A and B are shown apart, each in its own frame.
Chain A
Amino acid sequence: MGLLSDPVRRRALARLVLRLNAPLCVLSYVAGIAWFLALAFPPLTQRTYMSENAMGSTMVEEQFAGGERARSFARDFAAHRRKSGALPVAWLEWTMRSVGLEVYTQSFSRKLPFPDETHERYMVSGINVYGILRAPRAASTESLVLTVPCGPESPNSQAVGLMLALAAHFRGQIYWAKDIIFLVTEHDLLGSEAWLEAYHDVNVTGMQSSPLQGRAGAIQAAVALELSSDVVTSLDVAVEGLNGQLPNLDLLNLFQTFCQKGGLLCTLQGKPQDWTSADGPLQGVQTLLLMALQQASGHPHGAHGLFLRYRVEALTLRGVNSFRQYKYDLVAVGKALEGMFRKLNHLLERLHQSFFFYLLPALSRFVSIGLYMPAAGFLLLVLGLKISSASRCPFVASLSHALELWVQLHEAGVGPEEAGGTPGSSPPLPATQRVGLASLVAPLLISQAVGLALYVLPVLGQHVAAQHFPVAEAEAVVLTLLAVYAAGLALPHSTHWVLSTQAPDRSWMALKLVALIYLALQLACITLTNFSLGFLLAATMVPGAALTKPSGPRYVLVSPHHKACRDVPPTSGASAPRHRLPLTRHSSSPTRAPLDLASPRRPLRAALLVLTSPAAALLGGLFLWQRLQEAPLSLAEGWRLFLAVLAQGVLAHHTYGALLFPLLALGLFPCWLLFWNVLFWKR
């Protein structure tokens, strides 16, 4: 890499980056967005293919014919459910035993941190019922799971019926090599979480549950089934799990294989997958955006989502009964499931051959991680360019670029032994720089404290709030959330109150640099684990972050060097580095110059920054989601939905361990507050 070690060429590169900074940033941002949208089009998407040998080449013949039986089971289940008002545990136990399963139950209870108004529950207790089909002549070391989540608003009777009929059919076969667990959970996701935690004998979320009596080894794969009608027009498949985790692509390929074999109409994100038609790719963009939004939300898109944490590949099949003419009965769905289970039964190893990181513009098309990462890369490059341009200014170079500092020190003739210390405390630096660093501590601490308050206060203070104000607890949580969020916007004033005496003139650049690095690091980490979340956050937060600069009071400090740093190529010719340090000193005695342009821009910038804050991104995501679902929202509806989503997000963190809420509260909001602080920096 001669480019870096050769000072002349490095300088040339740096000059280029500085001179073309703004156009490069814009270009990079546009390229990122364009790349993402282009992901739905053929050169970037590939056809899916089965990678797993054990499932690919073997043929199975589906023999399931228990449609009538499934319907009668479903009728009985619905009748018993209506009679008892809850999950008919005794009936389920009896039926499962009568089809020859080994039946166990598990009771669980969970007190939610605050009442869940969407699902109308607070103190939840329920019973899961599961039956194990023991594979003959096997030692119960591996198992597959077919789960039906039952909740108050999703009765799922037909799914229970089909599951029982399948169990009865499977019981008579002799080819099983893995045990099959048929699981009916109450209170949909809560029950699944309780069962999974008990099965793995861990306690992640503070669920109280009775220990499981029967186990069947390591679970290899799971399928969750949701059906609420005797006939379906299509089967929708959901893959997105908790925190954006995805199952191995082979599981989806398997489902798609049997969709094609059985002639079923299968959809993804509720959109039919007609790739061959003229607007196929456009539909692909819609599906892709829907998947990205769903994945970014980190909320499991079905009961399967909780299995993924335990390294169990899982997906949810949802029967949809719409106004289409051609309908399929339960036998068709049952055959698809039978085929899937038989092929999963063939597995020698866990599903590992195919992709774990992918995006789906259609059921039969995917984008692999290597092809979608550049989109986020381009967006992060904007931050990188900003960081590099900021750190080129010697004022703040000491903060980020140890390398840069090293070079400068050498150019200034300082011995290497003196410069060996940490950049912040190097003795040869001018006094102003140390003050600049000290002035960063207060905003950093305060913004982090606000983030912590945002994370802790709503749930802790709900009772206090509910006592003193005429609101319910769930409302109190959401309102506290919004109040703390809004209070965070007052941060600039509080920091100025702390720093009133010693705030140095230009340390806003240092603050912005820190904020940029912080944001870039967070976004990069998020993108690696949950691409959709990282990308959507980057797409919203990067423009605001890149454009932020103080445009506060009437006077702005303009030092000769600052000008050189921003506006013109900083140095020219080989002798420039020698002038750098004197220039730095010079800039510590700045002159005040009137800058009238700055003031009117401030509301504009503030508005832009508010629009790119995490909460605004969330709101925008909601509207986009509804529009893509072809159910556009009015503003009032959107606001109500937004409040509900906030409560759900906090609940999902406490009940399932979803990470979006702590990520936003503890990571991105404080980071965004730093930019807010930069915008209102008093000079």
Chain B
Amino acid sequence: MAATAPLSLLVLLLLGPGVWGQTEPPRDSLREELVITPLPSGDVAATFQFRTRWDSELQREEGLSVLLKADRLFHTSYHSQAVHIRPVCRDARCASISWELRQTLSVVFDAFVTGQGKQDWSLFRMFSRTLTEPCPLASESRVYVDVTNYSQDNETLEVYPPPLTTYQDVVLGTRKTYAVYDLLDTAVINNSRSLNLQLKWKRPPGNEAPPTPFLYAQRYVSGYGLHNGELSTLLYNTHPYRAFPVLLLDTVPWYLRLYVHTLTITSKGKENKPSYIHYQPAQDRMQPHLLEMLIQLPASSVTKVSIQFERALLKWTEYTPDPNHGFYVSPSVLSALVPSEVAAQPVDWEESPLFNTLFPASDSSSYFVRLYTEPLLVSLPTPDFSMPYNVICLTCTVVAVCYGSFYNLLTRTFQIEEPSKGGLARRLANLIRRARGVPPL
């Protein structure tokens, strides 16, 4: 519970107590599950979900939470946490509501480091713990292991201990098979007082990894130098025969001045005209560029979206404390309805496993995907902050000295003046002469 407890505390602080009911939590209010799936990259993803009616603060020490050890979770390639809260009816008549709290923790284990070079894994290798007993409060406590067979011949992988039941479902348009371990089922743990799930590949997994997804994207900055550059986004549609549209949303900071006329979209070497473009230009220091496009991706193609930009000069107080690090450009957001391979059946969410709610299918023929590309690091022209004073002094002096004297020379008329002879005496004499009305000397 090391990872999840602070989160629930945080939400408590945000919402304040007193909204939810006072009754003792019934035993059936907590459902917990762990889903372990392989990834196309060869790594292993583990997703924990805990769903409860948030009626009182729960202190869980057993069940799946024993696996949550910080020192292992933070040695992973990636982790993300999420909290969902929603009101649910307390009974059929919906006379009163409870708050449902759902905590999600997704972790991607680096299969290479965890498995010492092989892609086999076990609970103990990943978490340095095994499951010993179910959570006493949980009404449902299950582990799902994705054992979908992607190659033609069967029996490429082996799970130990052998699952008592399997579960089939359509997730993201493909049919998946899961081995199910119900911790509440006494037969699962009883044998050895601990459950250490293991997965072994029978052969080195070359083509047995899950296929690449139908839609993925890459983004990078091209060009060099500090004047111009180009933002390029590559959109991959790997579907063999279906084209589908994606909505590409880009927000680019104002200090990259986009040249919108250079926006080019090419698929398979041909120009691809987007069916809809919404562009809102940036205002300096006020709002970023907003560019939204609906692009049709042809089947099995790579679409390149590129737009050139010029780097603006910031005011010297606007630079971040480490200006030579560069400035981040936020990821593009891709939203798409990707065609399914297998039609999904409408499911009853209360009955199906919890992870189903993470992948909602809008209709049976397609599923919704939102992808974020990688963020970019763009370096802007940066002054040398260590010596602005010296530079300002030096340039000002040089400019003043050179410009001043040259301007003086260019505008001055030179003439030779006869030196005046005589001093005080002459002036006195002139005074007297003026008084007498005689022309001066």
Whether A218 contacts B379 by the Cβ 8 Å rule is: yes
Given contacts A202-B223, A350-B326, A574-B416, contact A136 B374 (CB under 8 A): no
Task: Specify which chain B residues have a CB less than 8 angstroms from the CB of A174 in the assembled complex.
Answer: 75, 113
**Most chain A CB atoms below 10 A, which of B220, B378, B379:** B220
Contact with A along B66-103 (1 / 0, CB 8 A): 00000000011111000000000000000000000000
On chain B, the residues within 8 Å of A403 by CB distance are 406, 409-410
Q: Of all chain A residues, which has the CB nearest B326?
A: A218
Task: Determine if A475 is an interface residue (Cβ-Cβ < 8 Å).
Answer: no
Let me know if B414 and A407 touch, CB within 8 A: yes
State which of B76, B79, B378, B412 has its C-beta within 8 Å of the C-beta of A5. B412
Return chain A residues, CB-CB under 8 Å to B378: 218
**Interface residue from A137, A217, A350, A410 paired with B374 (Cβ < 8 Å):** A217
A200 interface hit (Cβ, 8 Å): yes
Q: Cα distance A348–B223 when bound, in Å? A: 22
For the complex, is A215 an interface residue (Cβ under 8 Å from B)? yes
Q: How far is the CA of A172 from the CA of B328 in the complex (A)?
A: 28
What residues on B are CB-neighbors of A352 within 8 Å? 324, 382
Q: How far apart sit A142 and B377, CA to CA, in the bound complex (Å)?
A: 7
The reply on B150 being an interface residue by CB < 8 A is no
Would you list which residues of chain A between 91 and 134 have a CB under 8 Å from chain B?
A: 98, 100, 102, 134
Residue with the highest number of chain B CB atoms closer than 10 Å, among A218, A348, A574: A218
Q: How far is the CA of A217 from the CA of B75 in the complex (A)?
A: 23
Given contacts A5-B412, A136-B110, contact A141 B323 (CB under 8 A): no
Of the stretches B4-12, B178-186, B224-232, the one at the interface is B224-232
B59 at the interface (CB under 8 A from A): no
Inside 8 A of A353's CB, which chain B residues have their CB?
Answer: 386
A406 within 8 A of B: yes
Assembled-state Cα–Cα distance A310/B222 (Å): 11
A201 adjacent to B414 (CB under 8 Å):
no
A interface, over-half SS: loop
Q: Are A139 and B375 in contact (CB under 8 A)?
A: yes
Residues of B301-340 whose CB lies within 8 A of A: 322-326, 328
Pairwise interchain contact B409-A5, C-beta atoms closer than 8 A: yes
- A136 in contact with B77 (CB, 8 Å): yes
Closest to B378 in A: A218
A120 to chain B, nearest CB (A): 31
A59 at the interface (CB under 8 A from B): no
Residue of B nearest to A51 (CB): B386
Least Cβ–Cβ distance between A307 and chain B, in angstroms: 10
A200 and B224 form a contact (CB under 8 A): yes
B330-389 at interface with A (beta carbon < 8 Å): 374-379, 382, 386
Is B279 an interface residue when CB atoms closer than 8 A count as contact? no
Q: Which residues of B contact A411 (CB under 8 A)?
A: 414
Contacts of A607 in B (CB 8 A): none
Q: Is the Cβ of A4 less than 8 Å from the Cβ of B322?
A: no
In the assembled complex, the CB of B126 is this many whole angstroms from the nearest CB of chain A, namely 14
Q: Is A601 an interface residue (CB 8 A)?
A: no
Q: Does A1 contact B (CB under 8 A)?
A: yes
- Please report the C-alpha to C-alpha distance between residue A218 and residue B412 in the assembled complex, in whole angstroms: 55
Answer whether A310 and B409 are a contact pair too, CB < 8 Å, given A100-B112, A350-B326. no
In whole Å, how far is A582's beta carbon from the nearest beta carbon of chain B?
Answer: 17
**Chain B residues, Cβ within 8 Å of A350:** 324-326, 379
Say whether B322 contacts A349, CB under 8 Å: yes
Q: Tell me if A309 is interfacial: C-beta within 8 Å of chain B.
A: yes
Q: In whole angstroms, what is the CA distance A218 to B325 when docked?
A: 10
Q: Are B117 and A98 in contact (CB under 8 A)?
A: yes
Residues of chain B lying within 8 A (CB to CB) of residue A172: 113
CB of A202 within 8 A of CB of B376, answer: no
Assembled-state Cα–Cα distance A215/B404 (Å): 53
B191 part of interface (Cβ distance < 8 Å): no
Chain B residues with CB under 8 Å of chain A are 41, 75-79, 110, 112-113, 117, 218, 220-226, 230, 232, 322-326, 328, 374-379, 382, 386, 401, 404-406, 408-410, 412-414, 416
Starting from the known contacts A141-B376, A201-B220, A407-B414, 17 additional A-B residue pairs (CB-CB under 8 Å) come to A1-B405, A4-B406, A5-B405, A98-B117, A136-B78, A137-B79, A139-B375, A140-B374, A141-B375, A201-B223, A217-B374, A218-B221, A309-B224, A311-B224, A348-B325, A350-B326, A350-B379
Task: Show 21 residue pairs from A and B whose CB-CB distance is below 8 angstroms, ordered by the A residue.
Answer: A4-B405, A7-B414, A136-B75, A136-B76, A141-B376, A142-B377, A171-B112, A174-B113, A200-B222, A200-B223, A215-B218, A217-B220, A217-B377, A218-B221, A218-B378, A311-B224, A349-B323, A349-B324, A403-B409, A403-B410, A410-B414
